[in-house]
């Protein structure tokens, strides 16, 4: 550590009141190493130290094979994004299947088959599953039911403080906790005593610091590292105070990193900003960014969001435009990522093109929420396309919304598709009162009844009821 500081002197790397949690996860790792695989669910509010707990566990288990992935909250996620991240790290048959565009059933089996093959414990980390796409949640279900016979440990972290009652993750958690392989640990905020220990020597009032931060470890360390003489009005102010001390070119680089996303490729950041390796080293020295192997990341998503939200809109558009161009130059094949930056850059043609491709891929992986979101994005930029193409987008949206049981919205999308087709195809199908289906998107979904039966006075009347037993 720079300057010869010890771990005890740096509050950013200290773990207090986490010994019992570490001991529990360590014990489950030992069980997994013996062939009785485990899925460990690590819950807690944002900034409470879930990632820090995982990093401390990893530091003590260097003989294991670790692969780390995360769900991205910046943009509509790429379906099975964590699985593709894992495939890039482990290679083999799983990466071959990913590159070949295999379906999700084949991808799930390929991942399970690859676990434990090398005679060491495979530790898979999936961070932030509260942002997981539908297919990734299904992957967790799949693995949770099968891990007990594999030498593998799967750690999934998630925020438990903002899940709605009907959040899809809640349903998945209800299934997972009943599985033999599943274990749970919940991290609580720090006590006043722990905050007092962290704040020792800072000159700050520990009780006031605890009141401000609620004992949240991230907020506590942000305030302490801001170096202010008094407790700031908010922890957000502490993060901005640290960023404000950067020279102009480094602050611009930090802003660009926040807009790139959770994981920042150093080469991409350099291309977008022109920042030198020495400049990036200076950013790392501030502690706002950390080196995460081949990529960079903010020390916490909270800090990234604070920096992102402080970027003026007119500046952000230009940065997104440069990010989009740089990703295009390196052949980025993540259409979800490209569509997000294209929309933020105001590039309508690119947003439409990538959103449409992302929607089709999501449909193929049965990631219905993500498919619907991408169809909606494509339609926002479809003002200049032909009526047939617009009808295809509406039809795809109707199919995905109906599978999500959002029947009223699905009926509206189907009506819009029907209206577009009436004007576009009327001369080409004489004797018919409705156009033929397009692209086959809706031929196996509840939206088909909306399409073929025509408009109804009630959206739900046009869609057959689907019980949980038949879904």
- Any idea which architecture 18-186 has in CATH? 3-Layer(aba) Sandwich (3.40)
The pLDDT value given to residue 30? 97
d(CA 263, CA 81): 12
The pLDDT value given to residue 439? 43
Match 């396309």 to its residue by tokens.
Answer: 385
| Averaged pLDDT of the chain | 86
Cβ atoms 254, 307 nearer than 8 A = yes
Cβ atoms 71, 82 nearer than 8 A = yes
Q: Distance from first CA to last CA of the chain, Å, rounded?
A: 54
State both tokens at 224. Answer: 């302490």
For the chain, count helices (H), then strands (E).
Answer: 22, 7
- pTM score over 0.85: no
d(CA 400, CA 444): 11
Q: Which of 342, 337, 427 is nearest to 380 (CA)?
A: 342
Per residue in 176-187, pLDDT tens?
999 999 999 999
Q: What are phi and psi of 428, to 5 degrees?
A: -95, 0
State both tokens at 189. Answer: 């905020």
Per residue in 327-348, pLDDT tens?
999 999 999 999 999 999 999 9
Q: Which residue has the higher pLDDT, 471 or 406?
A: 406
d(CA 213, CA 234): 8
- Is the pLDDT at 4 greater than 80? The verdict is no
CA distances from 459 to 52, 416, 455 (A): 48, 14, 8
d(CA 435, CA 425): 7
Q: Is 257 exposed, middle or buried (0-12, 13-18, 19+ CB in 10 A)?
A: buried
Least confident of 73-82, 172-181, 453-462: 453-462
d(CA 383, CA 372): 18
- DSSP labels, 150-200: SSEEEEEEE--SS--TT-HHHHHHHHHTTSTTEEEEEPPPPPHHHHHHHHT
d(CA 339, CA 362): 13
The pLDDT value given to residue 420? 86
CATH topology of domain 245-311: Arc Repressor Mutant, subunit A (1.10.10)
d(CA 263, CA 192): 33
Cβ atoms 360, 305 nearer than 8 A = no
434 confidence band (pLDDT: 50, 70, 90): very low
430 confidence band (pLDDT: 50, 70, 90): very low
State both tokens at 386. Answer: 């032909």
d(CA 256, CA 260): 6
Element spanning 67, H or E: strand 65-70
Domain chopping of the chain, boundaries: 18-186, 192-243, 245-311, 312-381, 385-464
């Amino acid at each position: 550590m720079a300057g010869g500081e010890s771990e005890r002197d740096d509050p950013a790397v200290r773990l207090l009141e986490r010994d019992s949690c570490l001991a529990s996860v360590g014990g489950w790792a030992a069980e997994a190493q013996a062939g009785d695989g485990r899925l460990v669910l690590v819950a807690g509010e944002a900034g409470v130290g879930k990632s820090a707990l995982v990093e401390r566990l990893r530091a003590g288990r260097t003989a294991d094979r670790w692969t780390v992935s995360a769900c991205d909250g910046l943009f509509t996620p790429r379906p099975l994004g964590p699985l593709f991240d894992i495939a890039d790290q482990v290679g083999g048959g799983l990466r071959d299947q990913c590159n070949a565009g295999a379906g999700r059933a084949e991808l799930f089996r390929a991942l399970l088959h690859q676990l434990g093959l090398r005679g060491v414990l495979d530790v898979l980390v999936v961070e932030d599953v509260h942002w997981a796409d539908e297919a990734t949640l299904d992957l967790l279900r799949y693995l949770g039911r099968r891990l007990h016979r594999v030498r593998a440990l799967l750690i999934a972290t998630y925020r438990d403080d903002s899940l709605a009652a009907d959040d899809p993750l809640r349903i998945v958690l209800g299934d997972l906790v009943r599985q033999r392989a599943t274990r749970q640990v919940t991290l609580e905020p720090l006590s006043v005593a722990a905050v007092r220990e962290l704040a020792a020597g800072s000159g700050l009032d520990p009780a006031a610091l605890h009141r401000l931060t609620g004992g949240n470890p991230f907020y506590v360390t942000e305030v302490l590292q801001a170096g202010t003489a008094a407790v700031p009005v908010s922890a957000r102010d502490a993060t901005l105070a640290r960023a404000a001390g950067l020279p102009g070119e480094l602050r611009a680089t930090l802003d660009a990193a926040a807009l790139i996303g959770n994981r920042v490729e150093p080469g991409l950041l350099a291309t977008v900003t022109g920042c030198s390796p020495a400049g990036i080293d200076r950013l790392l020295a501030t502690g706002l960014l950390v080196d995460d192997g081949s990529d960079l990341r903010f020390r916490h998503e909270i800090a990234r969001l604070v920096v992102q939200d402080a970027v003026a809109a007119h500046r952000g558009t230009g940065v997104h435009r440069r990010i989009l161009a740089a990703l295009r130059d390196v052949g980025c094949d993540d259409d979800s990522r490209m569509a997000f930056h294209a929309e933020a850059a105001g590039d309508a043609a690119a947003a439409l093109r990538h959103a449409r491709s992302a929607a089709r891929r999501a449909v193929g992986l049965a990631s219905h929420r993500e498919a619907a979101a991408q169809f909606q994005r494509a339609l926002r930029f479809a003002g200049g396309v032909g009526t047939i193409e617009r009808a295809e987008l509406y039809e795809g949206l109707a199919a995905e919304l109906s599978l999500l049981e959002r029947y009223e919205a699905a009926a509206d999308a189907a009506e819009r598709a029907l209206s577009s087709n009436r004007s576009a195809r009327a001369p080409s199908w004489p004797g018919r009162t409705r156009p033929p289906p397009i692209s086959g998107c809706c031929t196996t979904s509840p939206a088909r009844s909306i399409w073929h039966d025509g408009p109804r006075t009630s959206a739900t009347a046009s869609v057959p009821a689907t019980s949980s037993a038949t879904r």
